[in-house]
Structures are given as C-alpha cells and as structure tokens.
Amino acid sequence: MTNCNDIILKVYNSKELDNLLSKINPEAIRDDLRQEIAVALLDIPCKKIMSLFASNDLIRYALAITWNMAIGKGHKFSISYQRKELGKAIDYVNATKPMPELPIELAYEADAILKTKNKDIHDDHEARIFNKYVELGSMRKVASYYRIPLNHVCNVVNKVKSDLKCLLLS
C-alpha cells in the first residue's frame, strides 16, 4: 500500500502537471506553482487523497487547483505574484523617469566641496563613487562599473548627498 506522500510525489512528477505548467506564462512562476500544488496537496487529509487517487481523479483535481492558482483572481498565489510584478513594473517606470536637473553652479560648488573636503583616502573613495554616480546616473551602473556591492554604493551616495545638502545649505 502506498502512502499519501508517495501519491503526492507521483502527482508532483506527473507528465500531466508538466504539460499544464508548460502552458503557464511567465515561465518564472512554473516552479513556484509546482511547489504550491505540492503544499496544497499535503494540506488535504490523507483519506481524501487516497479516495481521489483510487477513483483516478487526483491528477485532474491537482490540475484544477494548479490552474486556479495560476489564473484565479482571488487565489493567494496569484495575488502575491501579481503584487510582485506590479512592484517591478512601478520600479521600472520610476527608473525610466528623467532625473531632475541640478543647476550647473550647484554642481560645480558640490564638486569643489568634494575635492577639498578632506584629503584622506576614505573621502576620496566617496568622491569617486559619487562622481561616477553623477556621470552614469544609476547606482546599479556604478556598482557594476567598480564591481562593488550595490548596497555599498547606495550607502555612499546617500551619505554624500546628505553631506552635500548640509554643506550647501549652510
């Protein structure tokens, strides 16, 4: 006699589930859906799994659940996936907006402050990263250019912005 976990594993690896998942786009959610269907089946009482399996309805049942997860408007998986995609879309739109122009006089003054602030290596490092940020217009591009962590670039740029704001307003 097979147990419920073995039956669920058969569904998880079934050709029918592979076929259904191959039709779901974007491709990036297919593995997540496969995992979600396994979790959903594990939450079902074993008696029901055995009953569906005995009547050859388990695969059809699992496919229906998978399809509802993928396209169902009220399903938790679909809602969380759409929320993630919406966030990515908003980030993309914000990244494509032109940045506000800095008055040239202010840019020259900021550059002079950066060059004369202190002569130690740490400040030179900050100035180089900030100047490259001004040149490239993106913290991600600066991190890629210098091959350093994006988080470090963000911290440096934000610190220099804050310092410049205080120095220029004083």
pLDDT greater than 50 at residue 120 = no
170 compared with 144, residue with greater pLDDT: 144
pLDDT score for 20: 81
The CA distance from 110 to 104, in Å, is 10
pTM score of the predicted model: 0.43
Residue of 23 and 91 predicted with greater confidence: 23
